[in-house]
Amino acid sequence: MSTAQYAFGMIGLGTMGRNLLLNMADHDFAVAGYDKDAEKAAALAQEGAGKNVKGFSDLNEFVQSLSKPRAVMMLVPAGKIVDDVIAELIPVLDKGDLIIDGGNSYFADTNRRVVELQDKGLHFFGMGVSGGEEGARRGPSMMPGGDPEAYKVVKHIFEAIAARANGEPCVTYVGPGASGHFVKMVHNGIEYGVMQLIAEAYEVMKKGLGMTNEEMQQVFEKWNEGRVKCFLVEITKDIFKYKAPGTDHLLIDDIKDEARAKGTGKWTSQVAMDLQAPLPTVDSSVAMRDMSKYKQLRVQAEGLYGTPAQLDANREQVLADLESAFYFAMIVSYAQGMHMLTNASTEYNYDLKLGEIARIWRAGCIIRSEILFDITNAYTKNAGLEHLLLDDDVKTKVSGAVGGLRGLLSKTMAAGIATPAFAASLSYFDAFRSGRMPSNLTQAQRDYFGAHTYELIGKEGKFHTQWTAK
């Protein structure tokens, strides 16, 4: 075998890594993969039969097979494993080579690795990859961030394998440092929000309206043909048709109501608080995943307090309100995420192009949806747009849908059906459109008990009052 014949290398030949390499091979790139598990390396060679792709289980051989400057991508679990792989790579790479972390690493860890590897003469990229198994194989959305000169080494490969929307590849250079992983983190936060909204819609239909699985499937199918069309609704309509082999009922009814998470939603909420960028739709989504873990306590509480009542309303009207509510809250979920990116761009000097970010989310990724075309247009016509809800076209869409959410919540709250993400979305909107919030009272209270001072309207300076007579 001759050396230096492969243009791109992948470490980690699990489902995502293997499928991305095969995608590259489909586009006539010569690619190599490495995994300590020799069986995974052999599986890559077998699946890539007839293509210019090779699997390795020896790291040195793998690295030597790559053309310079070498581009090595990792798709391994976030955390210590990433640092371990980097430590193994450093001695066998040369200055000017490029390491790409395509996993869901925490952006602060990526910042640290950028600096550490820069000192060693190596380029480091943190790149968000979205689309799951199918996206990796057929076209993902990718969010690379790091050295713009180093990106040029792999730009043509990523643009070739990316998903496409309106003929445009769903990948763009995001910005410096850890910006790629930061954008992917916010993407995942939005994903949490939309997933929770769909779960609450399911709850309303099942408990509030007593609908059958078949009836709910028809609703999700209809939704996916209209303005709320998105990947997450698309897969939901499929879930409500799937029966496990050998059974006569839907698999969804056998799955425990305890949701898991890998941490990206929690990170989004935590960092949003640091940036003072409120996103209560995401916060409530993270909280409900946590709530779901307390199954035994929830069963006990149900025995004490009873179950929700069915909605005392016309079914067709409730379903119409529910569709409007979902449309409204989905837009608000995106708006919260984009506002967080606006704040992060300033705080971390990322210089994010929000129109470009929305553009690359239009296909390939988990949060792809029809509304992203409108979001892209909003930031394209006004790159300095401070908040998505201030766009005139978005205002029209939100104003036309908010009445459905108000009508829905009045019914679900009366019946005792939990719809926290819907409620959080509406409260966020109502607070955002309030020219005067009751926060003046909060400041007065803080000054009363802690002498934290306050500011006055039309008067410079900070003030303190002795609120009670001595």
Annotated binding site for substrate: 104, 130-132, 187-188, 192, 262, 289, 446, 452
Catalytic residue among 40, 54, 191, 323: 191
Rounded to whole angstroms, what are the CA distances from 69 to 50, 66, 75, 150, 450?
26, 8, 20, 9, 59
Rounded to whole angstroms, what are the CA distances from 412 to 57, 66, 100, 423?
56, 59, 47, 10
Residue 184 bears catalytic tag:
yes
Residue type, position 426, single letter = L
Cα separation of 211 and 227, whole Å? 23
Cα separation of 444 and 462, whole Å? 12
**307, two tokens:** 């179950």
How crowded is the C-beta side of 367, counted as CA atoms within 13 Å? Answer: 31
Q: What is the CB neighbour count within 10 angstroms for residue 356? A: 19
Catalytic residue among 184, 237, 353, 411: 184
Close Cβ partners of 380 (under 8 Å, ≥ 6 residues apart): 355, 359
> Nearest-5° angle of CA 420, CA 264, CA 433?
45
Burial 195-234 (b: 16+ CB within 10 A, else e): bbbbbbbbebbebbbebebeebbebbbebbeebbebbbbe
Cα separation of 469 and 459, whole Å? 25
Binding site listing: 104, 130-132, 187-188, 192, 262, 289, 446, 452
Please answer whether residues 29 and 23 qualify as being in contact, where contact means their C-beta atoms are separated by less than 8 angstroms: no
Q: At what angle do helices 231-239 and 179-203 cross, to 10 degrees?
A: 40
Going along 287-344, which residue ranges are E strands? none
Cα separation of 73 and 23, whole Å? 14
By CB neighbour count within 10 A (0-12 exposed, 13-18 middle, 19+ buried), where does 42 fall? middle
* Residues known to be catalytic: 184, 191
